Structure 1
Amino acid sequence: MAFEKACALADVTEEAALAVTLGRYDVAVARDGDEVFAIENTCSHAAVALSEGEVADGTVECWLHGSCFDLRTGKPTHLPATEPVAIFPVEVRGTDVYVDTETTLNGVTPQ
């Protein structure tokens, strides 16, 4: 695995995802309680930034049409999206968040 620093843990709130670019991928880093997740930052329905939507109950909502994606699986939990988005391995090291964009946890190839 090839983890690289994405952000400081303090920069990730529970209400919103943080947009970061790692290599050639745009990633949304989000929190659900004490867990931190990295999900592809592009809605599979409308190709807009998921980081601009709300994070709640383990999902991130696309602000444009209301599609929701599970932070753990990348699967859509609310229409109109029907295709999952990639999710990436995350490690919290001290006060920093590291993400591996060379590997997806759900087998989805990022856009």
Structure 2
Amino acid sequence: MGFEKVCAADEVPVDEALAVTVGDLELAIARDGEELFALQNVCSHAEVALSEGEVADGTVECWLHGSCFDLRTGKPTHLPATEPVATFAVEVRDGDVYVDATEALNGVRPS
């Protein structure tokens, strides 16, 4: 499978996330400043879209209960979530965002 184009980099708003689909996975492409990250688009605490949450200081916050997840590791940084979400490799090529969703970087199996 390898890297697949998921969106244009300028489609991802600063300090926000964009929902995309790669195969059968729902992912959130998050922009923290100039950096882009890909993570599973579902909170591990309450199954809601992380792409609808706020992105700041290297984390994304779930809008429902306030769980936060590290964009690099997927680990929860704020309760009530205690389980990590899957993170994936991202590359930007010629203004487009590519994600390799074949295997999570952090070893977490997407639900």
In the superposition, the TM-score normalised over structure 1's length comes to 0.97
Structure 2 residues not aligned, in runs of 5+: none
Q: Which runs of 4+ in 1 moved over 6 A?
A: none
- The reply to whether residue 57 of structure 1 matches residue 42 of structure 2 is no
Distance across 2 between alignment mates of 1:37 and 1:16: 11
The structure that is strand-richer by fraction is 2
Give 1:17's aligned residue.
17
Q: Which amino acid aligns with 1:67?
A: S
- The reply to whether residue 102 of structure 1 matches residue 102 of structure 2 is yes
The number of residue pairs the alignment matches comes to 111
Give 1:48's aligned residue.
48
With 73-82 and 28-37 compared, the bigger mean Cα shift is at 28-37
Structure 1 residues not aligned, in runs of 5+: none
- Report deviation, 1:15: 2.4
- Report deviation, 1:97: 0.1
Contact residue 14 and residue 56 of structure 1 kept, 8 A: no
